[in-house]
Amino acid sequence: MSDRSDILPRRQSMGGIADQLTGIPLHFPAERRWVIAMAFASALLLLLMISVTELFTRGVGIWGINIPVNWAFAIHNYVWWLGIGHAGTLISALLLLTGSEWRNSLNRFAETMTLFAVVCAGIYPILHLGRPWYVYWMFPYPATMGVWPQFRSPLEWDIWAVLTYLTVSLVFWYTGLIPDLAAARDRATGRGWQIFFGITSLGWRGSAIHWLRWSQAYRVTAALAVPLVVSVHSEVSLLFAAGQIPGWHSTIFPPYFVLGAAFSGFAVVAIIAVALRSWFGLRNLVTDEHLDVLGKVLLATGLMTGYGYVFEVFDALYSGEPHDMRTLLDRVAGVYAWIYWGAVLLNFVPLQALWWRGVRRSGWALLLISISVAIGMWLERDMILVTSLYRDFLVSSWGKFTPTFWDWSTYLGTIGLFLVPFLIAVRLIPMISIFETKELLHEEKQEARHG
């Protein structure tokens, strides 16, 4: 070994990597497990369809929302899903620009995760509309009514931010995918696969000048995607911070939301990384080193999110504003105190185990901590919404929020909406970037040769 440790084991060949990774879609190794997972995911998706049908038939009254808690599961799941998506972009784009080679084994499925998480997020505001068939009113079109959307409202910014994010994520994902689709095309033997990869790879042939243009486009898109992530989740936080509700109206919100998003997203990336590598035997590509780095990033973003918690409390205390103090007290000692303390507990207590190297390098430990963080962040988003709203300025309008069956079924259903396309993607496309892995392996070998 050279003095600096390599992230990929050097004792493998480029051709071997290409065969192994294109082999996953072409000669699928885990058919039975995939079918079981797909059956489970499809059941959840079916649940979503039933819930949405019920919702569209009877209206948002089937959920537990009412005055004063009129934003609950729909918006909190929206924020949660969107936040998960952000880690995919950060891993791919930010780490591409900083030249962190360990991203190469993770970026493809992280980006795929982003795409489908954003889809799950995106449907929620539409479901929440009450009259979802009027969603096109959000777009500026020359209406016979003579009105235009209100561009000075964060609610209008939202649709632009989410749709832009979805489109740019798709562009970035596909741009990075083209060379790998070509690699799969050249390995494919079945007629169907040849046609599928032949068309989707657009005839990519790896010409030097093509690579040059491609690299420039890819890197600049990455450079655009990083500020985009920050802008999108900051904009989401403005949905809250631009209102005057105590517990929302705070300048810490944009960074607090962005960091929390990255935190929950990295947790889900870790879950998927551990699952995929044990599922498809990818230990030679998603190594313990990768888990180690993921664990460190998770710990770092977790501590930053923790800073957000501290500052939120400080903000309320420092303002001395009675309503802000009231909300703070409601959070830590009200009827929903368990949500607050549940979030604190699940987010930050198991996380501390990641200070130990042995824990970071163990797939199981990282998986359990990540699940805890994903649930903890879900509780946090719930806490931000419900505990701020349930006690309004006027005592006469105080109320409570209890999720109904349909709240839960819609939420569980979106997990199906995430898993079904994700599993299809696992089945159809190379889930680890082939050419970037080869490039890294080549660099490592070269470095070893030249000392």
Partner 1 sequence: MAERLYGMLGEFDSPEGLLAAARQARAAGYRELDAFTPFPIDGLAPILRIPRPWISVVGLIGAFSGAGAALLMQMFTNYDYPLNVGGRPLYALSAFAVVMFELTILFSALAMLVATLWQNGLPRLNYPVFAASRFHLASKDRFFLCVKGQDPMFDDQGTAAFLTDAGAASVERVPP
- The residues of the shown chain that bind partner 1, judged by CB under 8 A, are 13-15, 18-19, 140, 146-152, 154, 156-157, 160-161, 164, 167-168, 171-172, 174-175, 179, 182-183, 185-187, 198-199, 202-217, 220-221, 224-225, 227-228, 231-232, 235, 238, 435-436, 438-439, 442
Q: In the bound complex, what is the minimum distance in angstroms from residue 272's beta carbon to partner 1?
A: 24
Nearer to partner 1, 97 or 300 (CB): 97
Question: Residue 157's closest CA among 78, 235, 261, 230?
Answer: 235
Residue the block writes with tokens 């998770």 = 298
* Nearer CB in complex with partner 1: 108/391: 108
In the bound state with partner 1, the residue whose beta carbon lies nearer, of 134 and 148, is 148
Phi, psi of 20 (to 5 degrees): -60, -45
CB of 224 vs partner 1, minimal distance in Å: 5
CB 324 to partner 1: min, Å:
22
- Min. distance of Cβ 259 from partner 1 in angstroms? 19
Nearer to partner 1 among residue 42 and residue 100 (C-beta): 100
DSSP string, 327-339: HHHHHHHSTTHHH
Least distance (Å) from partner 1 to the CB of residue 428?
A: 17
Q: Indicate the residue among 145 and 395 with the shorter CB distance to partner 1.
A: 145
Q: Per-residue b/e over 340-377, b at no fewer than 16 CB within 10 Å?
A: bebbbebbbebbebbeeeebbbbbebbbbbbbbbbbbb
If the CB atoms of residues 32 and 450 are measured against partner 1, the closer one turns out to be 450
Say how far apart CA 441 and CA 436 lie, in whole Å: 9
CB-CB contact of 63 with 73 (8 Å): yes
Instruction: State the nearest-atom distance from the C-beta of 115 to partner 1, in Å.
Output: 14
Taking the least distance from each CB to partner 1, the nearer of 182 and 426 is 182
Nearer to partner 1, 160 or 193 (CB): 160
DSSP 5: P
Tokens linked to 440: 């890294």
Nearest Cα to 241, choosing from 306, 154, 157? 154
Q: How far is the CB of 21 from partner 1 (least distance, A)?
A: 11
Contact between residue 413 and residue 48 where contact means Cβ atoms under 8 Å apart: yes
Q: How far is the CB of 392 from partner 1 (least distance, A)?
A: 21
Q: Residue 260 is encoded by which pair of tokens? A: 């929390």
Which C-beta is closer to partner 1: that of 141 or that of 402? Answer: 141
* Min separation Cβ 320 and partner 1, Å: 26
For residues 418 and 121, what is the distance between their CA atoms, to the nearest angstrom?
10
| Least distance to partner 1, CB of residue 426, Å | 21
What is d(CA 119, CA 135) in angstroms, rounded to the nearest whole number? 16
In 3D space, the residue among 248, 262, 343, 346 whose CA is nearest the CA of residue 304 turns out to be: 262
Closest distance of CB 451 from partner 1, Å: 16
Q: How far apart, in whole angstroms, are the C-alpha atoms of residue 293 and residue 102? A: 8
Instruction: Show the DSSP H helices in 246-356 as ranges.
Output: 253-280, 288-319, 322-333, 337-348
In the complex with partner 1, which residue's Cβ is closer, 342 or 430? 430
Task: Work out the angle at residue 431's Cα, subtended by the Cα atoms of residues 430 and 437, and round it to the nearest 5 degrees.
Answer: 85
Nearer to partner 1, 224 or 349 (CB): 224
Question: How far does CA 223 lie from the centroid of its chain?
Answer: 19
DSSP letter (8 states) at residue 429: S
Question: What values do phi and psi take at 310, rounded to 5?
Answer: -60, -45
